[in-house]
Amino acid sequence: MKPLLIIATHNRHKLAEIRRILGRTPFRVVGLDAFPSYSVRETGRTLEENALLKARKGVRMTGHLCLSDDSGLEVKALRGAPGVLSARYAGPGCSYDDNNRKLLRVMRALPASRRDARFRCVVALAAPHKTARLFEGRTPGRITTEPRGSRGFGYDPVFAPRGAGGRTFAEMSLGEKNLLSHRARAFGRAARFLESIDKRKRGR
Q: Which of 44, 116, 131, 53 is nearest to 84 (CA)?
A: 44
Task: Say whether 70 is catalytic.
Answer: yes
HSE (side-chain half, CA atoms, 13 Å) at 33: 10
Residues 6+ apart with CB under 8 A from 35: 6, 61, 62
Catalytic residue among 33, 69, 70, 198: 70
- Which of these, 60, 58, 62, 78, lies nearest to 70 by C-alpha position? 58
DSSP assignment, residue 171?
G
| Residues designated catalytic | 70
